[in-house]
Structure 1
Amino acid sequence: MDTAGTVTLNGTASTVAGTSWFDHEWSTSALGPKAVGWDWFSLQLDDEREIMFFQMRRADGTLEPVSGGTLVAADGSTRRLAAADVQLSVADTWRSPATGAAYPSAWRVVIPSAQLDLRVQPWLAQQEMLVSFAYWEGAVQVSGTSAGQAINGNGYVELTGYAGSLQGQF
Structure 2
Amino acid sequence: MLKTLLLILFLFITSCSGSLTRIPASEKIIHVTNEVQGRTQQQLLDMTRFWMEKYFTVHAEPVVLEDRQEGIITGIGHIDYPCSWVECVTKGDLQVSFTMRVDVQGEVINTTFLNVEIFTPSSGLDPVYQGGMNAQVWSKRDMDAIRPELLELNRALVDFLLDK
Q: TM-score, normalised by structure 1?
A: 0.27
Structure with the largest fraction of strand: 1
Larger radius of gyration: 2
Q: TM-score, normalised by structure 2?
A: 0.27
Structure with the largest fraction of helix: 2
Higher relative contact order (CA 8 A, sep 6+): 2
